[in-house]
Structure 1
């Protein structure tokens, strides 16, 4: 059975250990599952678990109502495996009857000349741009290593 194309890295890309990636994944049908505090915290726990297992170093992340943005440095496993594990564990822990995540994810490998702090600020400001809060400190579901 062929894998869905959404589970692959973008054409011509490969998973590179030590590389910085901006990852985005969306809930099935863009349902706002993470408006619920327990569900949002469950996903956050899985982001942190990936770091504890030395799969990646999380530089910044935000859990939005229907998606996540996650800036990482990839460590000991391929990017596809990291995302597969994250999605499977978070789905299992959320214990929702329907699928939690859409197939696949978006990855952007940061180039050396890209400003990592600028990317992190973009991630963290997502709730402001979405109109959920007026200032970053009012949104509870984000973190960055620079704080």
Structure 2
């Protein structure tokens, strides 16, 4: 039987970063805590998503902040996907800790990624991503939920 830590380590070892590829990313909060149910934290994460400083080697095409996780549609231009997501998570964490005094971690160490195939419809993936609050019962329309964005707006 493999430990979850060893499995996540193997997951990171097998991860391939391809410039020009678009990835659907899911990053979960530490112990599935609803960190972003707090409006201050959700706004902090949203500002980090919007900042060009967050994505120097990628473009964040769409994203949604859910109470206990984040989804993003990231187009990698160069470099390493793991480092790109680590940068985003570190920026969110440091801002939340500095502005709210939070002591415990914000994120789980790993994240899930799925590379879109070249024939996948990127806009359809973005629509699916930003509709997560509807499926979770957090809003009745996408416009009611404030913590998301997509490049096509």
Q: TM-score, normalised by structure 2?
A: 0.85
- Residue range with higher mean Cα deviation, 81-90 or 58-67: 81-90
Partners of 1:85 and 1:21 lie apart in 2 by: 16
Residues 34-88 of structure 1: per-residue CA shift (max 9 Å, x gap): 1122111111222223566522111111000110100011123310111111111
User: Does residue 1:6 correspond to 2:8, yes or no?
Assistant: yes
Partners of 2:104 and 2:114 lie apart in 1 by: 28
Query: In structure 2, do the counterparts of structure 1 residues 59 and 37 end up closer, same or farther at CA, with 3 Å as the change threshold?
Result: same
Query: In structure 2, do the counterparts of structure 1 residues 98 and 89 end up closer, same or farther at CA, with 3 Å as the change threshold?
Result: same
Alignment of structure 1 residues 49-128 onto 2, 5 Å: 49=51, 53-95=55-97, 96-128=102-134
Unaligned runs of 5+ in 2: none
Deviation at 1:24, TM superposition (A): 0.4
CA contact (8 A) 2:48 2:54 kept: no
Question: Of residues 47, 50, 59 in structure 1, which corresponds to 2:49?
Answer: 47
Residues 85-142 of structure 1: per-residue CA shift (max 9 Å, x gap): 1111211111120011011000000001111111111101100000001111000000
CA contact (8 A) 1:50 1:86 kept: no
Q: How large is the RMSD of aligned CA atoms in angstroms?
A: 2.0
Query: In structure 2, do the counterparts of structure 1 residues 39 and 76 end up closer, same or farther at CA, with 3 Å as the change threshold?
Result: same
User: Does residue 1:143 correspond to 2:149, yes or no?
Assistant: yes
How many positions carry a matched residue from both structures? Answer: 145
Higher helix share: 2
Match of 1:18 in 2: 20
